[in-house]
A and B are shown apart, each in its own frame.
Chain A
């Protein structure tokens, strides 16, 4: 039973390019979360999705960032026109549909974005 799969593990982009990060949740999990970890900082929530539905995007920057979780395929975090400040580790986590308050997150290994 594969865990949460993220790719690419490492991505290098130049300023102004687009970055696409993919996340396949654990089998049987219907909830996906994206977190960002800036250098020397903790995890900051970005967005919470279920299939074809954004539940909470309160942590997403208003511009350049978008996320989706289509009916088929992985969840995608898209960053347009990247800037150096976007350099970070982006972690995806998934959880099953269970009673709220007991949802344990299973994390992927992360995608490390470097913007030159």
Chain B
């Protein structure tokens, strides 16, 4: 079956620090990969996506590259801000299934 494993949190960083949140997946075929972000009290919002191997998704300074050889989709940002504090979810969508599979989420807290 499909599964997503995320780096356990919580993660606490100082403003302007470098961020990496690891994500690895198990899936049959060629899934699309996503990062969603959830701010307190809100639903999830799409942050970025990649639909095939070696694609790089990017948005708001965040990046993730679809690595088929290591089945990974690690999220990175060069300089985090306090406003980036949120829960980040890695997800995959397989082409032969209608539903997305999510990781358990990683809570990021950025301190000024």
Contacts and interface: CB of A to CB of B under 8 A. Distances in A.
Interface of A: 4, 6, 31, 33, 35, 41-45, 48, 55-56, 59, 91, 93, 100-110
A48 B41 CA distance: 24
Nearest to A110: B43
Interface in B12-55: 30-32, 34, 36, 41-46, 49, 51
Given A101-B93, A101-B95, A107-B45, A45 B101 contact: yes
A28 B105 CA distance: 29
A47 B28 CA distance: 21
Contacts, number: 67
B90 to A, nearest CB: 10
B73 interface: no
A6 B44 CA distance: 13
Nearest to A104: B46
Top 5 nearest A-B pairs by Cβ distance? A42-B104, A107-B43, A101-B95, A43-B102, A107-B44
Interface of B: 6, 30-32, 34, 36, 41-46, 49, 51, 89, 93-105
Contacts of A107: 36, 43-45
A108 B100 CA distance: 15
Contacts of B99: 33, 45, 48, 56, 59
Contact of B95 (A4, A45, A93, A100): A100
